[in-house]
Structure 1
Amino acid sequence: MKYKLGDFVRFVDEKMEGYVTRIIDEQMIGVTGDDDFEIPVLASKVTTVHGFEAGQSETKQPSANQKSADIPTQDKGVYLGVVNDAKAGSVVHFYLVNDTSYQLLTTLTTEKQQQIRGEYAGIIAPKKAVKIYSGQLADLQLWPKFKFQVLFYNAGSMSVNSPLVVEEKFNAKDFSGAKKQILLLDQQGWLIQLDEPELIIDAQKLKESFFKPAEEKLAVAKPQREVDLHIEKLRDDHQFLSSTEMLNIQMDHFRTALDAAIVHQYPDIVFIHGVGNGVLKHEIHKALSRNNRIQTFMDAHKDKFGYGATKVILK
């Protein structure tokens, strides 16, 4: 497979072109054009457009008088920066961001279905960022487990940092927050610190929290019996969101409402997702099929919603 996520390709037999937004298998890829529809196609039926290279907007360094407002300069400062592809918005690129004064000897391996694969190995200079992986954000639940291994090196008389080993299986909550400006990339994206300080748990405070009066504990609000997931009902700024961001917001709202319905022992609940291209409905049905608190689900009130709503029967 010679293509990578984000590559710009042209169809051999048709007047069509687009960006690689999915690697289906060794022979098949998914290509998304200007209409935002992804088309599965044999890799042999497309060709790379000359002069375009995925991820052209590589690392930009801040000017000498520019300070990292979002990434503090200190011994610690190893981050994973995740940014959308400039052209294929459904694709995200992972950058290892080094805001330390050390050279980082870095490897990334992934594990999926007990298959381990080497993805990246190299040396990342201080105040630099290097792209190490790409993925389809809509397939987040299918991503492998990531294992980062980092050695710190500096020829000067600095303290010696212990090797860093981080294993991470990402989920939706890692990308549910607002994006921030990643200065070493000069792009908006999600920033995840890999060498964050060890969490120290105050045992006494933890014990006290178990014995808080009921009125001090956070109550779970009752959801509506019909939950409208249309993005314009959830966000006023939806016109500025990518399709992937909208899907994540809709799925988060769906999960919150479903969990609340379970807590309040609803017999059933309806989710209005619309028809559209069917992606939201597919993701909802996939999540419902894996939830052991669900008895069954079906199209809801076809006379009222057509095929744009799903009724969920709870156990």
Structure 2
Amino acid sequence: MKYKLGDFVRFVDEKMEGYVTRIINDQMIGVTGEDDFEIPVLATKVTSVHGHSKLVGDEEEAEVEAIIPGEFKSKGVYIAVIADAKANSVVHLHLLNETSYQLLASVSTEQNKQYKGEFAGSIEPRGHAKVYSAKLADLQLWPKLIFQVLFNTKQNQPVLNPLNVNEQFKAKDFSGAKKQVPFINQLGWMIQLDEAELVIDAQKLKESFFKPAEEKQVVAKPQYEIDLHIEKLRDDYQFLASSEILNIQLTNFKHALDAAIVHQMPDITFIHGAGNGILKHELHKLLSKNAKVQTFMDARKEKFGYGATKVVLK
């Protein structure tokens, strides 16, 4: 198989192109285009696109920032996971170097005791390199990624031990909010590979048992309009089952309603969408049993259609 995950290819017989997102067998691959649909195709029916416009992070030599004396950083090796600008279902894994060391890095994959080298090269301080690409929806099929890193500098700094990390990515790794990735300037998930080991201070742990209870947390006043669409509540919604999504939406609804009652707000509107009506039904069932609710109704139809409920509080 001459193709690997992340290769950009063009169909021989059709005006289509995309990324290789699955190696099905020795003859077949899966190609995902801009429409985010994966198409199985014979490897002989596609061709590599040479000179394809580089993605952010594909630069062979990343721009190196000057290292300011006194600001030498020895920690900060990350994997940044960023969605492709065209095919959103495809993500690219970048090895990100926030340290002041030059990294000599190797990235390999292992699946069913089959090993394959994916990347080998150097990454300058405050630089990055794309090391792997895959389809996020196929996360459970991803191989284990093996990261091996040596640290090099000409400055008078301690010699660090090599970094060896085996990472089998799971949905929980992408459960947090996306953040702006340094040097790439795109939103993505960041996973630190050289995170310091947790050291438990037995004395502090003992003292914590005798600390007085903290004051009750202040309840923040909610907005007058609360959007319960799951994509507004969680970044990892594509990994959640329908029952989990409903529970998350109801939990956010209850917290917002309780906060509105605490702050004696006159009303609050919950945006639940039209959909299949399950969430709306559950909200109305809870509202009908709440003694602090005076009434509830469909919110302004000209703004929300039938996808929102306005709650008037006592």
TM-score per shorter chain, which class?
0.5 to 0.7
231, 249, 264: which one aligns with 1:235 = 231
Alignment match, 1:24: 24
1:10 is the counterpart of 2:10: yes
1:191 and 1:6 map into 2 onto residues whose CA distance is: 19
**Residue type at the aligned position of 1:247:** Q
Alignment match, 2:304: none
Alignment match, 1:199: 198
1:235 and 1:123 map into 2 onto residues whose CA distance is: 37
Q: Unaligned stretches of 5+ in structure 1? A: 211-230, 258-273, 276-315
Alignment match, 1:80: 79
1:196 and 1:24 map into 2 onto residues whose CA distance is: 35
Task: Give the secondary structure class of the aligned counterpart of 1:201.
Answer: coil
Cα 1:252–1:150 shift into 2, 3 Å: farther
1:58 and 1:94 map into 2 onto residues whose CA distance is: 11
List aligned pairs for 1:111-260, cutoff 5 A: 111-203=110-202, 233-236=229-232, 246-250=237-241, 253=244
Task: Give the secondary structure class of the aligned counterpart of 2:238.
Answer: helix
1:9–1:17 CA contact under 8 A, matched in 2: yes
Task: Give the secondary structure class of the aligned counterpart of 1:44.
Answer: helix
1:7 and 1:119 map into 2 onto residues whose CA distance is: 12
Task: Give the secondary structure class of the aligned counterpart of 1:235.
Answer: helix
Cα 1:43–1:154 shift into 2, 3 Å: same
Judge which range, 122-131 or 5-14, deviates more: 5-14
| Per-residue Cα deviation, 1:187-238 (whole angstroms, up to 9, x for no partner) | 211111111111123457878999xxxxxxxxxxxxxxxxxxxx97423489
Report how many aligned residue pairs link the two structures.
Answer: 233
Cα 1:113–1:179 shift into 2, 3 Å: same
Cα 1:20–1:233 shift into 2, 3 Å: same
Judge which range, 8-17 or 84-93, deviates more: 8-17
1:176–1:248 CA contact under 8 A, matched in 2: no
1:61 and 1:256 map into 2 onto residues whose CA distance is: 44
| Per-residue Cα deviation, 1:154-207 (whole angstroms, up to 9, x for no partner) | 122112222222122110010121111112222211111111111123457878
Cα 1:164–1:3 shift into 2, 3 Å: same
Kindly state the Cα deviation for residue 18 of structure 1 after the two structures are TM-superposed.
Answer: 3.7
Cα 1:99–1:206 shift into 2, 3 Å: same
| Per-residue Cα deviation, 1:61-91 (whole angstroms, up to 9, x for no partner) | 68969x9xxxx97211111111112222211
Cα 1:206–1:43 shift into 2, 3 Å: farther
1:20–1:30 CA contact under 8 A, matched in 2: yes
Alignment match, 1:42: 42
**Residue type at the aligned position of 2:182:** L
2:91 and 2:22 map into 1 onto residues whose CA distance is: 11
1:237 and 1:248 map into 2 onto residues whose CA distance is: 13
2:147 and 2:100 map into 1 onto residues whose CA distance is: 19
Cα 1:200–1:144 shift into 2, 3 Å: same
1:61–1:184 CA contact under 8 A, matched in 2: no
Between structure 1 and structure 2, the one with the greater Rg is: 2
2:147 and 2:6 map into 1 onto residues whose CA distance is: 23
1:51 and 1:156 map into 2 onto residues whose CA distance is: 37
**Residue type at the aligned position of 2:44:** S
2:34–2:87 CA contact under 8 A, matched in 1: no
Cα 1:37–1:18 shift into 2, 3 Å: same
Cα 1:203–1:256 shift into 2, 3 Å: farther
Judge which range, 166-175 or 27-36, deviates more: 27-36
Kindly state the Cα deviation for residue 124 of structure 1 after the two structures are TM-superposed.
Answer: 1.6
**Residue type at the aligned position of 1:45:** K
Cα 1:203–1:84 shift into 2, 3 Å: same
Cα 1:159–1:17 shift into 2, 3 Å: closer
Task: Give the secondary structure class of the aligned counterpart of 2:244.
Answer: helix
Cα root mean square deviation, aligned = 3.9
Cα 1:103–1:49 shift into 2, 3 Å: closer
